[in-house]
C-alpha cells in the first residue's frame, strides 16, 4: 500500500510570512495526526483528527496555527504568521484507529529566517 505523502519536503520562509503543509494519509485510515519535531526532541502532537472531527488540539497554538481535514481524507496545516521558533520538521501520520500503530510521512522541514 502507498505510504503517507507530504508536501513540500522543505520550506524556507521569513518570519511573519504564511506557510501551508499538505498531507495525504494511507487510504482507509480514520485517524490523522500532525506533529512538530524540533531537532533532538521527540514528535510533539499538534492536532489529531478522527475522520473529519478533531480529537485533540490542546497543543496547537491556535493564534497562529490552523488545520483542517477535507472530507476525512487529506489534511492541511497552516501557520500564519510564522515565528522563528516554528522552525522544525512537521510530520503527518495516520492510523486505522487511534489505538493502532501510526504510519508517518517523510515530514516537511520548515526554516523560518
Whose Cβ is closer to other proteins: residue 28's or residue 40's?
40
> What would the x/- binding string for other proteins be over residues 5 to 44, using CB under 8 A?
----------------------------x-x----xxxxx
**Residue 62 binds to other proteins (criterion: CB under 8 A):** no
CB-based burial, 86-111: b 16+ in 10 Å, e otherwise = bbbbbbbbbbeeeeeebbbbebbbbe
Nearest residue to 92 via CA among 71, 111, 67, 112: 67
| Residue ranges in contact with other proteins by CB under 8 A | 4, 33, 35, 40-45, 48, 50, 55-56, 91, 93, 98-99, 101-107
Amino acid at each position: 500500500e502507498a505510504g503517507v505523502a507530504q508536501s513540500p519536503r522543505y520550506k524556507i520562509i521569513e518570519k511573519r510570512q504564511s506557510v501551508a503543509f499538505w498531507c495525504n494519509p494511507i487510504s482507509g485510515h480514520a485517524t490523522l495526526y500532525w506533529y512538530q519535531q524540533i531537532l533532538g526532541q521527540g514528535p510533539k502532537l499538534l492536532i489529531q483528527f478522527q475522520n473529519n472531527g478533531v480529537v485533540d488540539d490542546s497543543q496547537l497554538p491556535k493564534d497562529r496555527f490552523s488545520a483542517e481535514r477535507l472530507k476525512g481524507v487529506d489534511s492541511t496545516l497552516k501557520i500564519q504568521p510564522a515565528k522563528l521558533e516554528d522552525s522544525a520538521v512537521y510530520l503527518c501520520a495516520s492510523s486505522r484507529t487511534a489505538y493502532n500503530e501510526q504510519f508517518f510521512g517523510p515530514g516537511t522541514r520548515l526554516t523560518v529566517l
